[in-house]
Every structure is written in structure tokens, then in C-alpha cells.
Amino acid sequence: MKIPVLDRQFVQEHLDMRACIDVMEHTLRQESGGVCGQSLRTAVPLPNGNIFGLMPAWLQDCFGVKALSIYHGNGELGLPSHQGQILLFSLEHGEPIAAVDADTVTQIRTAAVSAAASKALANPDAKSLAVLGCGAQGLSHVKALLAQFPLENITLWDRTRMKAECLAAMQPADVSVRVCETVREAVADADIICTVTAAQDPILEREWVKPGAHINAVGACSPKARELSGPLVAASSFYGDNLESVLHESGDYLIPLGEGLIAKSHLRGTIGQVLNRTVAGRQRRDEITVFESLGMAVEDIAAAKYLYDVWCGKLRKSGGKI
């Protein structure tokens, strides 16, 4: 059976950030309402110390799996750290219908989810963004937050300053962009902070974050890794993308829980629940909110299905000639 292979170029051309934020918001609502679902991801350790990840999920009319390799050393070689494919199946008869480039979908959908979470939890007049980590996710997060908020100031930090400078040079002229030497300097005035590093130990401290800030904690996705300090997590109103994932995979939550800094009930709920108004979001302007993003398979399958529908539309328009 021949299926379309929607490659990196197709995804870059057709998964517009604004459209992806809307698809993700809809998917987060549906996941929280039980209309779509997923199994916890499987991380297969490879003999060379890298990881092979498998993330299965189902939506109302399709299901699929994202299979990808995670090679953190690839950055030094100029290669992507996440590479793989999303294999999409029809729910009706169970046949495979498309293979979609997972690396590009992951880059775009992760930032789109952070934008949707920021819309739900940040103060609505947020004007300043700090991005900590200027790799693939750093770039994507700047794009997503610019698509969601009328930002006036962006501060960038990376432990390799040149990467922050490259990202700064790519930004539109009507936004003030500053590269910072320290995390503290970068977040001092930030209304929204995105932590998108592969750090294993905290890079962000409680006393550096201004009252009312919203944090998207995206980079640490395993029980032993974290980007946020325990006191910062303890001082925040803490939400996740999926309750089961946070309870099993989030070092930002599990490490302070193990240290007795927070109770299990510190996890207030999911962004989907906030969007569906079954859990309360921000209550005060000066509250620090955290969205703990671990990445959900439903996000990948929903983005892949959106792209497959775009491809089907193009096929119809072209009379079957693409």
C-alpha cells in the first residue's frame, strides 16, 4: 500500500503556527474531556546512551504513533536532536494513511501548546518574553509567543551566547530583542518565561522571577531532570499537560515532592481542564503560574491529522496529480 510521506518541507510550508495553536487548544480540550487519549510514552534506552521514544495516541477518526530518536549530542554535529516519523492510521478500517516528519511537527506543536497554555494562564496584557535556551525549541517558542501576544520586548539567554545572538538576529525589527549574559538578567522583567533547555539541574530560581510571571517549563521531560528550582515550584500555581505524565515523568514536580517542598496536591490540574473550566486558572495578577510541558502523543497525532487533511485537500484540487 502506498501512503503519502509528508516531509520536513511539507510540514514547514503547511503547519502555520497560528493554525497549530488553534489545533492544539482544541486537542487539549478534547484530551481533558476524554474525547481522545494516549498511553504513557515508552522510552527505550539504546546501547549508545541515547533514547528511542514511542508515543501512541488516538483521536475520534484516526490513531497513530510517533517514533523518534533523541540524541542530545547531535547539536554539536549540526544535526537535529529529535528525529523520526509519525505514522497515522484510519480509525475506521485500521489502515495506515500517512507518514509525517516528526522532528518538524514536534518543534512546532510544542511551542504552539506553550502559546495556548500562556493564553490560558498568563496575565492577558503580557508584553515581555524571556526565552532560556536558543536551540530548535527556543526559535519555535519565540515564533509561537509572538503569534499569540503583542510582545514589545524579548530577552534571550543561552549558555552558548552565539546561539542567542543568531536567534536575536532573526527577529522582526518592531520588537526590542536583547541577548543576556545571565538567566537572572533575562527574566528580571519577563511576563512570560519559556525554559527550553536540555539542562538536568535547575537554571531558574524563585527570587529572579517577578510576581505575576507565567512560566512554560518545556525542556526537562524525565523524573531526574529539572529546569526550575524547588522553591520556585513551591511558590507557583502548578499545572501540567497530562496528570499521569506529570506524576511519572516530571522532575520539576517529582524532585521537590521527594524533598518535601510540595505536597501531591500542588499539581492543580491540566491546561485542558483550565480551558474547559473544570479547574480554576490564575486567580491573582501577582500569582506565578507554571505550565509543565512533557509533550503528549495526542498533540502529535492531531498535528499529523491536520497535515493529512491539508494534503487530501491539495490532492482533490489537483485532480489527483500531486
Q: Report the nearest approach of ligand NDP to the CB of residue 251 (Å).
A: 11
Q: Which residue number, 110 or 311, has a Cβ lying nearer to ligand NDP? A: 110
Spell out the residues 6+ positions from residue 160 whose beta carbon is closer than 8 angstroms to its own.
none
Give the nearer residue to ligand NDP in terms of CB position, either 74 or 90. Answer: 74
Nearer to ligand NDP, 83 or 237 (CB): 83
CB of 41 to ligand NDP, least distance (A): 10
- Name the grid cell of 39: 498511553
CB of 157 to ligand NDP, least distance (A): 9
Smallest distance from ligand NDP to CB 163, Å = 4
C-beta of 136 vs 213, nearer to ligand NDP: 136
Nearer to ligand NDP, 82 or 119 (CB): 82
State which residue, 4 or 135, has the beta carbon closest to ligand NDP.
135
Least Cβ distance, residue 50 to ligand NDP (angstroms): 12
Parallel, antiparallel or unpaired: strands 96-101 and 82-90: antiparallel
Contact predicate 73/58, CB 8 Å: no
* Cβ contacts of 10 within 8 Å, gap of 6 or more: 101, 307, 311
Query: Which residue has its beta carbon closest to ligand NDP?
Result: 135
Shortest Å, Cβ 105 to ligand NDP: 10
In this structure, the strands spanning 192-195 and 214-217 are parallel
Cα distance from N-terminal residue to C-terminal residue, the chain: 17
User: Bridge partners of 57?
Assistant: 38, 64
* Contact of 222 with 297, CB cutoff 8 Å: no
To the nearest whole angstrom, how small is the minimum distance from the Cβ of residue 111 to ligand NDP? 9
Neighbour count for residue 277 (Cβ, 10 Å) = 8
Strands (E), the chain: 5-6, 37-38, 42-45, 51-58, 62-70, 82-90, 96-101, 128-132, 153-157, 176-179, 192-195, 214-217, 237-240, 267-270, 289-292
Residues within the interface to ligand NDP (CB under 6 A): 75, 81-82, 106, 110, 133-138, 158-160, 163, 196-199, 203, 218-219, 221, 293-295
Which residues lie below 8 Å from residue 218, measured CB to CB, with a gap of 6+?
Answer: 110, 114, 137, 141, 194, 195, 196, 293
Q: Based on CB atoms, which residue is closest to ligand NDP, 49 or 124?
A: 49
CA 291 to chain centre: 10
Query: Which CB, 97 or 158, lies closer to ligand NDP?
Result: 158
Nearest distance in Å: CB 260, ligand NDP: 26
The type of residue at 202 is: P
